[in-house]
Amino acid sequence: LIGDREAPKFHIIRLLATPSRELLKPVGRDLVARGRLSDEDDIFFLTLPEARRAAGGEDLRELVAARRATYDRERARRRIPRLLLSDGTDAEAALVSVGEGLRGSPASPGVISGSARVIRSPAGARLEPGEILVAPSTDPGWTPLFLTAGALVMEMGGMMSHGAVVAREYGIPAVVGVAGATDQITTGQRVTVDGSAGTVVLEVGPKEEAQPDLAPATKGASPQPEPRANLADG
């Protein structure tokens, strides 16, 4: 029954917001025809007083473009910030680094080191036993991957999110709310997950590892003859 808490809000939006959008679309089309907006949907990026100003002849295309840019930036967020600074900066993302690692919220106790595997969708995904699952978020569709995961690192969520709860059920360490984890951790990179401290320490990744010294492979090969002097030169 807990899910029914959202029902009133859903019905209010369905009954009021949808008809309102249909009423405003013709206004948007008219403002596009008059060169005041670039797209009919731009009307939804204006307040009613601003829409009246546009109807009165004011060009608000630059204002809408700035708001669309903000809208697109916010939609690209992979986690909901718990604390925003006055300029819109995610405070946790700004402080995410801890030494040579990342910081999040402790969700399931334990410490484990292993190879990371970044997975953005559970569809067709495979996880080798002991690998560290790094994901944006999880839901019940991800549960089979927990059977072999050594630990969980998740960009979204808190103590009661799906990934955190399942990690505790399976007894694997988990750190959640790690901003940018899927971008800063690469598949194959060794990481140490501390589910009690809420930290993820990054070791040298596959692309950063030193190239192997190939010199030993030449041992035992026939030595190359010393260059012989050309007697004609003497």
Catalytically active residues are 162
Evaluate the CA torsion angle 112, 123, 183, 165 in order and state its sign.
negative
Contacts by residues 29-34 (CB-CB < 8 Å, ≥ 24 positions apart)? 30/55, 31/55
How many angstroms separate the CA atoms of 204 and 210, rounded? 9
How many angstroms separate the CA atoms of 143 and 191, rounded? 22
Report strand pairing: 199-202 vs 190-194: antiparallel
Q: What are phi and psi of 19, to 5 degrees?
A: -60, -35
